[in-house]
Amino acid sequence: MKLSLGFSPCPNDTFIFDALVNKKIDTQGLKFDVILEDIQTLNDWGDHGKLDISKLSFPAFFRNEHQYQMLNSGAALGKGVGPLLIAKRMVNVPDIAKCSIAIPGEQTTANFLLSFAFPFAKNKTPVLFSSIEDAVLMEKFDLGVIIHENRFTYQQKGLIKICDLGEVWEERQKAPIPLACIACKSSLDVQIKNHVDNLIQKSVEYAYSNYPEITDYTKQHAQAMDENVMRQHIELYVNNYSVNLGDDGKKAIKQLQKVYYDIFSLQ
């Protein structure tokens, strides 16, 4: 059986899925048609049920619970992992309402956390996540919400942090931040879903057993990224929740879901 599988080219995802897609573990008859895309593209595809298995930002998953089921493995969730609101020069909080803001996608958790921290920030434009730093530097936008490896590179480019949006969530909610999950088509046989979940867990465990090695697969998709940045990326976004969400992870997701519906029901 062959299933379509979508995730991002970022080091945390290629680290998690390397063993699975490159057959370093026994997939026991399952084959995968692998598509690597940025998270907003995957979120958009989720609305159309395009892939059998896909990484989805939690807001996108909440929108599509009628056709996707969350798996226990492969998720991005934790503390200190939130997106950052950055700028070229200091901006006072009251002025954020007047600022133009580049976001990595409307259905991203990053956009949700921006709305959670600054509900009055409305002038938002979706931009490919890897282009946001340069867009702010070139003054196409006053502010940008950065995710992934840009968390480790914005200062080198002369940008400054206005707010750690994840810290706002953690301080107010006293809970870790659920960023994204791996979701499987609900229409798939339950045995297949459980099998995929088990394979992803084995893939993460295999990657951990060989860390701190950075594989060619991760290097290939990280392109010009420094290996130190790759390791920072992996160590920040891959953790025990990526192996298995557990009760604590599921509780944090339910908490995010409640606040998500509370916020967006008012918009």
| Element containing residue 2 per DSSP (H, E) | strand 2-7
- The answer to whether residues 15 and 60 belong to one domain is yes
Spatial separation of the C-alpha atoms in residues 145 and 114, rounded to whole Å:
8
- Where are the extended beta strands (E) located within 140-205? 143-146, 160-164, 177-185
Task: Look up residue 68 and give its two tokens.
Answer: 């996707």
**Domain total of the chain:** 2
Is residue 65 domain-shared with residue 101, that is, in the same domain? Answer: no
Tell me how far CA of residue 267 lies from CA of 113, 122, 127, 264, in angstroms.
14, 10, 21, 5
Residue found under tokens 């879903």: 193
If asked whether residues 194 and 239 sit together in one domain, one would say yes
Tell me, yes or no, whether 189 and 72 share the same domain.
Answer: yes
Kindly state whether residues 12 and 27 are assigned to the same domain.
yes
Q: Are residues 169 and 185 in the same domain?
A: no
- What amino acid positions are annotated as catalytic residues? 148
Q: What is residue 149's predicted lDDT score, i.e. its pLDDT? A: 84
Indicate if 198 and 232 belong to the same structural domain: yes
Q: Among 131, 153, 173, give the residue marking a domain's end.
A: 173
Q: Are residues 185 and 235 in the same domain?
A: yes
What CATH number is attached to the domain comprising 137?
3.40.190.10
**pLDDT of 6:** 98
Strand pairing report for 177-185 and 68-70 = antiparallel
Last residue of a domain, one of 140, 156, 173: 173
Within this chain, do residues 24 and 67 fall inside the same structural domain, yes or no? yes
pLDDT 10s digit of each residue in the chain, 267 long?
899 999 999 999 999 999 999 999 999 999 999 999 999 999 999 999 999 999 999 999 999 999 999 999 999 999 999 999 999 999 999 999 999 999 999 999 999 999 999 999 999 999 999 899 999 999 999 999 999 888 888 999 999 999 999 999 999 999 999 999 999 999 999 999 999 999 999 999 999 999 999 999 999 998 767 899 899 999 999 999 999 999 999 999 999 999 998 876 545
- Asked if residue 185 and residue 70 are part of one domain, the reply reads yes
222 in the same domain as 142 = no
pLDDT of residue 264: 67
Dump the DSSP string for 70-81.
E-SSS-EEESS-
Using N-to-C axis directions, what is the helix angle for 109-117 and 165-173, rounded to 10°? 70
Report the candidate in 162, 167, 164 with the shortest Cα–Cα distance to residue 136: 162
> Looking at the structure, do residues 103 and 46 belong to the same domain, yes or no?
no
**pLDDT of 223:** 72
Q: Which of 134, 155, 173 is the last residue of a domain?
A: 173
What CA–CA distance (Å, rounded) separates 163 from 26?
Answer: 44
| pLDDT value at residue 148 | 85
User: Which residues constitute the domain of residue 241?
Assistant: 2-77+177-264
Cβ partners under 8 Å of residue 128, min gap 6: 38, 40, 104
Q: What is the reported pTM?
A: 0.93
